[in-house]
Amino acid sequence: MKRLTNCRVRRVPKFPGPAAWNAILPWQAPPRQLEENITADFAVIGAGFAGLSAARRLSQLNPGARTAVLEAARIAEGPAGRNSGFMIDLPHDLSSDNYSGNGKDDRRQIRLNRTGIDFARGAAEEYRMDRETFDPCGKINAAASEAGHRQNVAFGQHLTKLGEPSELLDADAMKALTGTGFYHSGLHTPHAVIIQPAAYIRALADGLSPVIQLYENSPVTSLQRTANTWMLKTPHGSIETPKVILAVNGHAESFGFFKRRLMHVFTYASMTDVLTQRQITALGGEPRWAVTPADPMGVTVRRINGTGGDRIIVRSRFSYNPSMQASDAYLKNIAGVHRKKFLDRFPMLSDVGMEFCWGGHLCLSWNNVPAFGEIDEGIYAACCQNGLGTAKGTLSGLAAAELCSGVSSETVTALQNEAQPSRLPPEPFAWLGANASLRWKEWRAGRE
């Protein structure tokens, strides 16, 4: 275990572009910042899936304990409110050809992802989230080419071998759903959940508000060990606590942990203006659907309606950014790529503009494992979600809460038995290798 007596946090998050999912929601109550020096039984750093799930599990296991959550930004402005909202139960290895990874470990991955999703479902029920926020409708892998269709068929066969249900939809069924003739087929798997990410994160934070202290716009800038406690400093206050859950995903490295073991990747999305009735009619299809690409490097598309209006969201492109920042110039370039991907799929909507374009930080490890466990005395990591933070972040947050409450569980054991994230090659080799590999895989994904 690493011994870290003092650390000055090297970087706080900077998010490229607006948090569109949050911007289309109704008014958000003003933030409460940490502006005093307090003590707590537990402090959680980061209010994404991992941090808020950790706080919820702590409140279940330690009723009456004082739990403080510190978030650098506003709730739902960070990656947890910027993603595409696919809470996926099945294996989801972004570096694979069809998500299924090496196949050896798939049943265990499914069990763990479902534990995370069930925990989220418990929160959705308790806090009365509606279908727009948390929809257990399953998900569809959409194929836009013969190659994609073959990937869908292969993935479906792989799932059958695992005893997992799936249904292959033909081109007509995909057109009836999406309104576009772009897709050759779709593979529906029933156990995924589709969330409005910002609405889910806000509802989770609101639901927890009676039992935790949540401080927004309160980045932790240093961690110092005192006799038996940790002192967390923010620009205007501090918290002294014996137990800290670090739920900052890739920013664990900014705190000095997992150095050169975390890969900082950004992915990007755009959201249209609100569709008019004429545009909705021209499009056809169902008012709400969500498809991931048959090739993991392809384009994710969602159509939403209800709060925030009828809109379409496309997500595509990845970049490797060891600096943990993506430039505005790159985002501008991405906006053009998204526009083209949108028009390829929806030529009947050529007069629809894009209101938002944004990016967000993913954290991957070379060996596709989480950064989990007690990493210093009293500091517990729930980080590195390998691109599936909705399910895996929830899982690692609840497991970190169990571990630091002294509760043994199958989930804690499973995460503790994972290997540590392996060391990355030195720069510039990691940068060159990662970018070359991303560009090659995106090129190979072609029409997908």
Ligand X SMILES: Cc1cc2nc3c(=O)[nH]c(=O)nc-3n(C[C@H](O)[C@H](O)[C@H](O)COP(=O)(O)OP(=O)(O)OC[C@H]3O[C@@H](n4cnc5c(N)ncnc54)[C@H](O)[C@@H]3O)c2cc1C
Binders of ligand X among 326-385, rule CB under 6 A?
A: 360, 362, 385
Q: Where are the alpha helices (DSSP H) in 228-346?
A: 277-283, 328-345
Residue closer to ligand X by CB (options 80, 129) is 80
- The residue range among 20-28, 72-80, 236-244, 400-408 that interacts with ligand X, by the rule CB under 6 A, is 72-80
Closer to ligand X by CB, 200 or 279: give it. Answer: 200
Which CB, 199 or 279, lies closer to ligand X?
A: 199
Out of 17, 85, 179, 373, the residue judged to bind ligand X by CB under 6 A: 85
The number of C-alpha atoms within 13 Å of 103 and in the hemisphere containing its C-beta is: 11
| CB neighbourhood size of 323 (10 A) | 9
Residue number with CB closer to ligand X (279 or 375) = 375
Q: Which of 56, 57, 82, 233 binds ligand X (CB under 6 A)?
A: 82
Q: Please, which residue, 263 or 279, has the CB nearer to ligand X?
A: 263
Is residue 47 within the footprint of ligand X (CB under 6 A)? yes
How many residues sit close enough to ligand X to count as binding (CB under 6 A)?
Answer: 40
Site residues for ligand X, 126-145, by CB under 6 A, read none
Of the candidates 253, 255, 227, 254, the residue with the CA atom closest to the CA atom of residue 241? 227
Provide the terminal-to-terminal Cα distance of the chain, rounded to the nearest Å. Answer: 44
Residue 316 lies near ligand X (rule: CB under 6 A): no
Residue 28: burial class (beta carbons within 10 Å; 0-12, 13-18, 19+): middle
3, two tokens? 């011994």
Q: Minimum distance between the CB of residue 50 and ligand X, rounded to whole angstroms?
A: 4
Q: Does 113 bind ligand X (CB under 6 A)?
A: no
Check if the beta carbon of residue 249 is closer than 8 Å to that of residue 48: yes
**Is 262 near ligand X (CB under 6 A)?**
no
Does residue 50 touch ligand X according to CB under 6 A? Answer: yes
Contacts of 405 (CB under 8 A, 6+ apart): 57, 58, 61, 62
Per-residue tokens: 283: 């499009």
In the range 214-243, which residues lie near ligand X by CB under 6 A? Answer: 219-220
Assign 411 to helix, strand or coil. Answer: helix
Sites for ligand X among residues 27-46 (CB under 6 A): 45-46
Q: How far apart are CA 316 and CA 170, in angstroms?
A: 24
Exactly one of 16, 17, 48, 186 binds ligand X (CB under 6 A); that residue is 48
**φ, ψ for residue 305 (rounded to 5)?**
-150, 170
Q: Does 198 bind ligand X (CB under 6 A)?
A: no
Q: In 3D, which of 249, 255, 265, 296 has the Cα closest to residue 424?
A: 265
Output the smallest distance, CB 429 to ligand X, in A: 25
Which CA distances in Å does 246 have to 46, 134, 409? 7, 26, 20
Distance CA(267)–CA(83), nearest Å, equals 9
Sheet holding 222-225: strands in order across? 6-8, 222-225, 230-234, 237-241, 37-39
CB of 309 to ligand X, least distance (A): 20
Binding test (CB under 6 A) with ligand X, winner from 4, 7, 12, 23: 12
User: Which is closer to ligand X, CB of 78 or CB of 279?
Assistant: 78
The region of 116-124, 163-171, 247-255, 415-423 touching ligand X under the rule CB under 6 A is 247-255
Q: How far is the CB of 74 from ligand X (least distance, A)?
A: 9
For residue 71, state whether it binds ligand X (rule: CB under 6 A): yes
Q: Find the binder of ligand X among 24, 70, 244, 334 (CB under 6 A).
A: 70
- Binding stretches for ligand X (CB under 6 A): 9, 12-13, 45-51, 70-73, 78-80, 82-86, 219-220, 247-249, 251, 267, 269, 315, 360, 362, 385, 387-391, 393
